[in-house]
Structure 1
Amino acid sequence: MQFSYLVTWVDADASARIAADDLARITAIVDATPALRRSRLYTPESADDYYTQDGPSPIFAMQLDYDTVFDLEAPIAAGGHLQALAAAGLPSLAGCRVEQQAMLRRPFPVADAHACVPEGALPCQFLVHYPGHAIDFDEWINYYLTHHPQIMFDFPGVREIEIFTRIDWLDAMPWTRVHYMQRNKLMFDSAQAITEAMHSPVRHAMRQDFEQFPPFTGSNIHHPMAARTTYFAR
């Protein structure tokens, strides 16, 4: 599961939510995607970060993981399986801005990956993306990958760390392609666990490391989202 197709729906109305029927229809289409190894369907949550307040989370997002970039590209090609998703006519997502990006997924170790989520609840991920540009991207990404996830390891209650880096990819989807230079996702048991982690001493260590990054523009954007995860044996 080294390659991820990431799609985000952004509604101008911060209070908007995806309808249950639309979520069920998306789930059915995604679950039937050839060669898909893991799906993550995200809905908005709320948490507090000591350093950033980036506004409400997107109305919906998804992460589809594949073993190869060819597996990723096939369902988003002309006539591919996921064209059905673009043509589904989902009323609660009508009018949303939709962004897509394919990326290389890099998992990093955590001290305890065992989630403690109450029955009927969902774990929560802190989704972060860097929309700007580094003056020297090679220097920037080398520094980030050899410093920042090693500090993330110390967050209390972190269950998963994933860093996503750029690739070139092919698609025929009717959505806006974005080229964010990097993303990361941290999994916690709940939105409250995110808040506690983002007010811990580790968050201050993260900020100190952030201030040592090689020069770049655009800062970073943080959004907490509940995660529905499904694994596929294909």
Structure 2
Amino acid sequence: MGKARSPIDPSWLAAVSRDIPELTRFVIHLPAESRDSDPLSKPHASSPCCALQWYFDDLGLLETTLQTNGAMQRIVDHATHAAEVDLTFAQQVMAVRPFATPSPGKPGHRAERCTYLVSYEGEAEDFDAWLTHYLTHHPPLMAQLPGIRELEIYTRLDFRSGLTIPRATAMQRNKVVFDDPEALAAALASPIRAHMKEDFNAFPPYSGPTPHFPMRSIYGNLNPI
């Protein structure tokens, strides 16, 4: 799997994350060096240099890490001073909606995988109609992608934060996970993508960009099953 250089040391990010009380697991996403193999998606801007996912069972525990002297502020301060390039930060808290996949693999079996991150940055005319249609029809199709290991859909939440960095406002985000860029490429070239495109065209009215980013994902499971 190709390894793109990150301006933030992922091993340092992992060490900081492991010290956070009540964090259940984390994922560090870095750009994946993979050919554009999705024939049904429009090209978008380059991938973010890093995306950090922290999983908590309680919103209040997460909010503690987002306060002025919390763990996330330390990451922002460290990255700002250590990086050789100017960085743009964003924060967003979202509800996690996991869906079963036919062959998820054993927990902790692989420390790295390849993820396709998708973000719906705009707004639906009727969010309830949008989400109902999406959750009813799209995950069953995504779960049929060959080689898929993990499938999660995220919806936004209101949250408290002491950070001065901007808040992202994506209406929805998705994540599908594969073993490596080759498995992702094969899934995106499969006939299932055409069925997903048909369903996409049937979505309730929505306007806004939907960037898709292939990422190299480093897993940190703090409470192994």
- Same fold, judged at TM 0.5 (above): yes
Number of matched residues? Answer: 216
Quote the sequence identity (%).
35
SS in structure 2 of the partner of residue 96 of structure 1: coil
Q: Relative to structure 2, which stretch is displaced further, 23-32 or 211-220?
A: 23-32
SS in structure 2 of the partner of residue 18 of structure 1: coil
The Cα shift of 1:18 comes to: 1.3
AA in 2 matched with 1:216: Y
CA contact (8 A) 1:163 1:182 kept: yes
* Matching residue of 1:7: none
SS in structure 1 of the partner of residue 136 of structure 2: helix
AA in 1 matched with 2:6: I
1:36 paired with 2:28, answer: no
AA in 2 matched with 1:168: D
CA contact (8 A) 1:86 1:173 kept: no
1:50 paired with 2:39, answer: yes
AA in 2 matched with 1:17: R
Calculate the TM-score normalised by the size of structure 2: 0.89
The Cα shift of 1:130 comes to: 0.2
Query: Aligned to 2:122, which of 113, 132, 135?
Result: 132
Q: d(CA) in 2 for partners of 1:159 and 1:199?
A: 17
The Cα shift of 1:19 comes to: 4.5
Q: CA RMSD in A?
A: 2.2
The Cα shift of 1:175 comes to: 1.5
SS in structure 1 of the partner of residue 119 of structure 2: strand
Query: Aligned to 2:5, which of 17, 21, 26?
Result: 17
Query: Aligned to 2:82, which of 69, 72, 91?
Result: 91
**Within-5 A mapping of 1:1-234:** 17-19=5-7, 22-45=9-32, 46-47=34-35, 48-52=37-41, 53-88=43-78, 89-92=80-83, 94-114=85-105, 122-233=112-223
SS in structure 1 of the partner of residue 90 of structure 2: strand
AA in 1 matched with 2:40: Y
The Cα shift of 1:25 comes to: 2.4
CA contact (8 A) 1:30 1:82 kept: no
The Cα shift of 1:122 comes to: 2.7
CA contact (8 A) 2:7 2:85 kept: no
Q: Relative to structure 1, is the Cα distance of residues 228 and 90 closer, same or farther in structure 2, using a 3 angstrom cutoff?
A: farther
SS in structure 1 of the partner of residue 162 of structure 2: coil
SS in structure 2 of the partner of residue 176 of structure 1: coil
Gaps of 5+ in 2: none
AA in 1 matched with 2:87: C
Q: Which deviations, in whole Å up to 9, do the C-alpha atoms of 1:109-147 show, x marking residues without a partner?
A: 1010017xx98x831000000000000111101111111
AA in 2 matched with 1:34: P
Gaps of 5+ in 1: 1-15
